[in-house]
Amino acid sequence: MKKVISLVVAFAMLFAVCVPAFAVEQEISKDTVPQEGKVEVKTNIDAATDSYTYTIKIPADVQIDWNDTAEKEVNYTVTSQLLLGDQLTVAVAADNAGAMKAVGTDKTLTFALQNGEAATFHEVNDEASPVTKPTVQIASFAGVPIAEYVGTMTFTVTYIPATD
């Protein structure tokens, strides 16, 4: 019973704190023409509790079939809710100049990355993709043994606060 009473008292105190936010500091009297008052409704931002959020979904890997020299999209998405005027940039770079190593050997095959330049995303995004998607391509498979080759790319996300 004591727990129930303490919860009721806690909720009553919580609602009591909210009441002053709706207080009107205007007086309307018979001399006021027209008979109305205006109140601003605004949001209050607390930097400690109203932090921005963003999520960048990048692929786990990019599969390229042997002898497939077509470009493959490296699709990533951005979901964000940032402060007004803030933005994110996402850049993609090929590690080791695109060199891929055959698993367990020193044999290499190279991929080329296109459109990895930083893409800009503004305040609010819901699984947005860059306007120009990055692509990878292996130009030639000639002269290398058939094997599983592995290389990596690095995604760099930069948060840019608004300038005053």
pLDDT (tens digit per residue) in 39-85:
778 777 776 666 789 999 999 999 999 999 999 999 999 999 998 89
**148 located within any domain:** yes
**30 located within any domain:** no
**10 located within any domain:** no
pLDDT (tens digit per residue) in 10-41:
555 555 554 444 454 656 566 656 666 667 78
Which domain does 117 fall in, by range? 46-160
**26 located within any domain:** no
DSSP string covering 117-128, please? Answer: SPEEE-SEEEEE
Report how far residue 38's alpha carbon sits from residue 20's, in angstroms, rounded to the nearest whole number.
Answer: 17
**121 located within any domain:** yes
Number of domains in the chain: 1
Q: Indicate the pTM of the whole model.
A: 0.72
Q: How confident is the model at residue 2 (pLDDT cuts 50, 70, 90)?
A: low
DSSP string covering 26-39, please? Answer: ----TTSSSS----
Q: What order of strands is seen across the sheet that includes strand 53-57? A: 53-57, 77-81, 124-128
Q: What order of strands is seen across the sheet that includes strand 99-102? A: 108-110, 99-102, 149-150
Give the domain CATH number at 104: 2.60.40
